[in-house]
Amino acid sequence: DAKTTQPTSMDCAEGRAANLPCNHSTISGNEYVYWYRQIHSQGPQYIIHGLKNNETNEMASLIITEDRKSSTLILPHATLRDTAVYYCIVRVDFGNEKLTFGTGTRLTIIP
Amino acid sequence: GAVVSQHPSWVICKSGTSVKIECRSLDFQATTMFWYRQFPKQSLMLMATSNEGSKATYEQGVEKDKFLINHASLTLSTLTVTSAHPEDSSFYICSARDRWAGGNYGYTFGSGTRLTVV
């Protein structure tokens, strides 16, 4: 799996959009970008994933640059419950490929 | 949606004893489950891949005789920490993939087990 780089920590005001960047400059053409988050002392939760087009679901939006070397996860209206560690992972999308977690970004939502 | 049940949620055991952690897929079949370990303020580290009906595949540096994995059915995998020691104290998390799911949607994580060895 390609390596990803994320900021160690970020703060965001409640109600504002939280933008979490991820660099994956060595991503391969068949590798997807996945985002998971882990709230304290719980198992990770899937958020969103994409290949090269921007994606949106009920939780977040994923913006992938045209060269696919970086992406941004956007939480449109952050709430206190969004405080968590967010992991950006790149991997191929077939079979039972394992998920390899990096260090992630600790996002703190400020009241 | 897919649910993975992990038990116990926490356990305290004496040094030298063994502890079994269960991971069940409640509403789907999982031919493959993954076991992770997470130390405080660190990321998840993959320990092993559990394959239904066959031997588990362990990551480099993980002792297979210490961390016994059994995946006897399509809905249950167990991790047994044998002869536990204080350094085995950690947060253990399992993940399962729906064998029929496409894309990433099939990866579901359990709620984790906090093991404390005293």
Residues above pLDDT 90, as percent of chain B: 72
Rg of chain B over all Cα atoms, to the nearest angstrom: 14
Please tell me the predicted confidence (pLDDT) of residue B101: 66
**In this structure, are residues B94 and A24 in contact, taking their beta carbons and an 8 Å threshold?**
no
DSSP secondary structure, chain B, as one string: ---EEEE-SEEEE-TT--EEEEEEESSS--SEEEEEEE-TTS--EEEEEEETTS--EEPTT--TTTEEEEEEETTEEEEEE-S--GGG-EEEEEEEE-TT--GGGGEEE---EEEEE-
Residues above pLDDT 70, as percent of chain A: 95
pLDDT band at B53 (very low <50, low <70, confident <90, very high): confident
d(CA B7, CA B110): 9
CB contact under 8 A, B34 and A42: no
Indicate which of B36, B104, B111, B113 best probes the interface with A, i.e. most A CBs within 10 Å of its own CB: B104
Please tell me the predicted confidence (pLDDT) of residue B27: 86
What's the burial of A107, exposed, middle or buried (CB within 10 Å: 0-12/13-18/19+)? buried
For residue A1, pLDDT beyond 80: no
Q: List, as ranges, residues 15-74 from A with C-beta within 8 Å of B.
A: 32, 34, 38, 41-46, 49
For residue B5, pLDDT beyond 70: yes
B93 touches chain A (CB under 8 A): yes
For residue B106, pLDDT beyond 60: no
Average pLDDT (A17-41) is: 94
Average pLDDT (A68-84) is: 97
For residue B86, pLDDT beyond 90: yes
Q: Distance (Å) from the C-alpha of residue B32 to the closest C-alpha of chain A? A: 7
Please tell me the predicted confidence (pLDDT) of residue A99: 84
Average pLDDT (B93-114) is: 81
Q: Residue A80 — φ and ψ, nearest 5°?
A: -60, -30
Please tell me the predicted confidence (pLDDT) of residue B6: 97
Average pLDDT, chain B: 91
CB contact under 8 A, B111 and A102: no
d(CA A111, CA B117): 37
